[in-house]
Structure 1
Amino acid sequence: MTAQEASKGGYLRPGLIESFVANGLKTQDYYFDLPLYHTDDSKKETIVVFARRVVAADKQADADKLPWLIYFQGGPGFGSPAYTTGWVKNAAKKFNVLLLDQRGTGLSTAMTVQVLSQFKTPQEQAEYFMQFRADSIVRDSELIRETLLANSTEKKWSLLGQSYGGFCITTYLSLFPDSITAAYITGGIPPVVDSLETVYRKSYKSVMDHSEQYYKRFPMDIKRVKKIMKYLATNEVKMPSGGTLTPRKFQQLGQRFGLSGGMDAIHQLCLGAFITIQGKEVLSSGFLHDIDALQDLIPPIYAILHEAIYCDGPNVASNWTASQLLNGEFKSVFGYSVKEYEAHEDDSSKIVYFTGEHMYDWMLDDYAYLQPLKECADILAKYTNWPKLYHPEVLAKNTVPVAAAVYYDDMFVDRECSENTAKLIPGIKLWITNEYKHSGLRDDSGILTKLMKMVSNEVDIPTP
């Protein structure tokens, strides 16, 4: 498709569409000028959204005859994976795969502290953030579909969503079901039925289980982690990025437990935590740089909008729910004090629990790059006029073939909450498995193949 052909929809940026062939794949890079505000015609601001089309090089001559598959990344706030990712290479043999950099991510208009500094007030920053949830991402995708498939015989496309990408798919099924051929979800059926408190309560219990699994695998780390926590509690440790490494910030590394190889990575990190300088043990610069790499590159969208992705409609505020639960019913589990842990220094039954995928109000203090957004984040946490993301009455009439991989011990998206939502969607096929962690799609490209076979009835998976 030429730029002139695609731009008939009015959204594709004029000019050359960059393309290359490598690794057996043909790519085409598109930039779209899309409305920042989709539901307010009085506001004319636009943003750029980037998407990369990928097709097998030996299929490029017939690419315009192949169906389309758009991919929604997990997050929120992260760009699409590399075009050479395993599942992409496999899917590109059958589809025009479109890797979408959701608004604010990747090569789309950036959502960074630098960009947000152009706004005069925290309120203006917050209003900008409000335009970056799943409803806006889905409406972006619809305009892109209308543009790229304008000359295609088949105007529908299939959807693939990992984690938060599955949330986006469920919004797509609510808003534009007639645009979808089939939908594939991996570890990402959103909790439409369950409250944010329920979601995080389950999440805390899950990361407690994962913490215990970690120490069973690496029992010597019980003492190592206590030693690190004590050092952080009794010393001010500045990070290379400028923030402060506090005990509570170190505990957030538990998020890695829910991904393949995550426990091994944290164990290796703890092994090299200390070095001796002039007879005194201090945390090594390598240890601090490694933590920076794991934590301080978290996108602002992920940190600040994370709880808001669960706010489905008006009269609901996120209200720093993870912080409230941590300071309340889970304080005795995750709270840390030097005095308490010194008394149990050699007690292997007294462990330091890590936290998981939880965003806290104190992150706006401990993370240097987030500090300028503290007032903005508080405004968003109190906001109650969110638009609806899901429409159960539409989902109840669903006729789109949907297949979902649900990971039994998923630390990021609770299995029981996923099953509750699945009951709202007629015809959805669930593959519940304990073979994978949350990163299953990245780890095994065969997952997508199986989901496609479920939709085509080549494998027998019972419906809920």
Structure 2
Amino acid sequence: MIRRHSGLVFVEHSLSVPLNHDFPQGPHIEIFAREVRENDPSAEGRPFLLYLQGGPGNRSPRDLPVWLRRATRDYRVVLLDQRGTGLSSPLSRQTLARVADPAGHLTHFRADSIVADAELLRAHLAGDRPWSVLGQSFGGFCAVTYLSFAPHGLREVIITGGLPGLTATADDVYRAAYPRVLAHNERYFARYPDDEALARRVVDALREQDARLPAGDRLTPRRFQTLGIHLGSNARFDLLHHLLEEAFVGDELSEIFLRRVDAAISFAEQPLFAVVHEAIYGQGAATGWAAHRVRDEFPAFDLDSGGPVRFTGEMIYPWLFEEDPALIPLAAAADRLATKSDWKPLYDPERLAANEVPVAAAIYFGDMYVDRDMSLATAAAIGNVRPWVTSEYAHDGLGREERVLDRLLTMVRD
């Protein structure tokens, strides 16, 4: 299907791919992508740029972010709904209920499978011509997997806030993440000092009141604490403040507050994010609910200590699968993934060291989600990488200003 609006042409593509690329004769799933190009006949001859979205478990953008306008001047942009998201055989509690082995099914939704899908899509759209890749956050992790196992398909790679630790375990990732989240909490409360008392008041109210979210599930203090996931984004940094300032009607938590909190913390629209989040760090060992275990090393997050409330970040906890209605049916599968110990490697350090594909990577100095030091070590370990370390942007810098992509394009072509 072809659509035209806003000066752009949108072409829809669907493709059947193996669920397990090591077993191509087995079950297949559908992947979906939108090609976006300028509404100009000359645009049909431009090279392809594949955009890999952050996540895991997030669909490709449906709006027109500023980077997309910039990219379509030079490319035909391919917005891939990564497997299990959007229109690519989406996974949810409804669709997984029809699967005989949900945990086994979910093992095929990591970066290696996404890259294999991308290679089939490239052959479908571009034949044997390599294409460019832009990877944001988890999409950058996928791009490094692409460089590891299918570099012949790549013309150039741009990564924003997404250089992973090549050998980091899930424990390493979260042990480095909790201090960064605390630093963002301090930055937040420095901006909104009155919110410290408000946050404590909400926690105390949640202990005393049976506060119910729109789906009927109870809002517990620890679920409220997960609102800190948004503190690493410039676009959503102030979300918590806008929630807290309307939290109460007298001494009672307001309906407006509860509805908005639900929209911010529910995994109903992206359950795959929660189920496979720690699995993206699995390489030859079980992740074992790392974020939950490592949290005990950071008593500042203890809500029972009597100290100030500090919000957690991009961490998934096993109790979420008891409290979020969208995740409750997936609890058994999530537990099995947490104990799986035979995960395949996602990166090939030797091949990456010998890499010849031009790579430009933005490393955000204060990134809450991706560790700066791990990213710098990875940039040094991959051949032909030009890193740009900047404190001017947060993790969502790509979507903030056109010049972020513009600078990276200049770097990768130089």
The alignment's TM-score, normalised by the length of structure 1, stands at 0.87
Q: CA deviation at 1:317?
A: 0.6
Correspondence list, 1:209-358, <5 A: 209-276=183-250, 281-296=251-266, 297-312=268-283, 314=284, 316-326=285-295, 328-330=296-298, 332-337=299-304, 340-341=305-306, 350-358=307-315
- Structure 2: gaps of 5 or more residues: none
1:329 corresponds to which letter in structure 2? E
- Tell me, in whole angstroms, the C-alpha distance in 1 between the residues paired with 2:167 and 2:389: 19
Given that 2:55 and 2:139 are in contact with CA atoms closer than 8 Å, whether structure 1 keeps it comes out as yes
Match status 1:126 vs 2:103 = yes
Whether 1:449 aligns to 2:406 is: yes
Maintained 8 Å contact 1:193/1:421: no
2: distance between equivalents of 1:129 and 1:242? 28
SS at match of 2:361: strand
| Higher Cα radius of gyration | 1
Give the residue type in structure 2 aligned to 1:134. A
TM-aligned CA deviation for residue 30 of structure 1:
0.6
SS in 1 for 2:327: helix
**SS of the residue 1:185 aligns to:** strand
TM-score for both structures, normalised by structure 2 = 0.97
Aligned to 2:388: 431
- Write the mapping of 1:183-222 to structure 2, written as runs, cut at 5 A: 183-222=157-196
**Separation of aligned partners in 1, 2:402 and 2:365:** 19
Query: 1:143 is aligned with what amino acid?
Result: L
The one of 71, 96, 120 aligned to 2:51: 71
Contact 2:171 2:287 in 1 (8 A): no
**RMSD (CA atoms):** 1.3
Q: Deviations over 1:389-444 (max 9, x none)?
A: 11111111100000000000000001001111112101201100001111111111
Matched, 1:48 2:30: yes
Deviation of 1:63 after TM superposition, in Å, equals 3.4
Distance in 1 between the 2:36 and 2:63 partners?
Answer: 7
Identity %: 40
CA distances 1:12-69 after superposition (whole Å, capped 9, x unpaired): xxxxxx11111010110011111111012452x11111100011112xx233421110
Whether contact under 8 Å (1:193, 1:420) holds in the other structure is no
SS of 1:302's partner is: helix
Aligned residue number for residue 389 of structure 1? 346
- How many residue pairs get aligned? The number is 413
Deviations 1:242-269 (A, max 9, x none): 3221111111111111001433221111
1:213-263 CA distance string (max 9 Å, x none): 111111111110000011112223221123221111111111111001433
Report the residue type matching 1:287 in the other structure. F
Counterpart residue type for residue 291 of structure 2: A
Match status 1:107 vs 2:84: no
Structure-2 residue corresponding to 1:346:
none
Other-structure match for 1:344: none
Q: Deviations over 1:159-206 (max 9, x none)?
A: 000000000000000111011110000000011133322211111001
Partner Cα distance (1:444, 1:376) in 2: 39
Q: CA deviation at 1:298?
A: 5.0
CA contact (8 A) 1:254 1:354 kept: yes
User: Residues 304-329 of structure 1: CA distance to partner in whole angstroms, max 9, x if unpaired?
Assistant: 100000012x3x11100000012x21
Are the counterparts in 2 of residues 54 and 83 from structure 1 also a CA contact under 8 Å?
no
Deviations 1:350-396 (A, max 9, x none): 42111000000110011111111111110000001112211111111
**Secondary structure of the structure 2 residue equivalent to 1:132:** coil
Determine if contact 1:25/1:89 at 8 Å carries over to the other structure: no
Amino acid at match of 1:283: L
**For residue 374 of structure 2, what is the aligned residue in structure 1?**
417
Q: Deviation at 1:95?
A: 0.5
Q: Secondary structure of the equivalent of 1:430? A: strand
How many angstroms apart in 2 are the aligned matches of 1:287 and 1:93? 42
For 1:372, which of 326, 329, 343 is the aligned residue?
Answer: 329
- Distance in 1, matches of 2:170 and 2:378, equals 14
Are 2:150 and 1:170 equivalent residues in the alignment? Answer: no
Q: Distance in 2 between matches of 1:309 and 1:195?
A: 10
Distance 2:24 2:173 in 1: 35
Structure 1: 5+ residue stretches without partners = 1-17, 342-349, 458-464
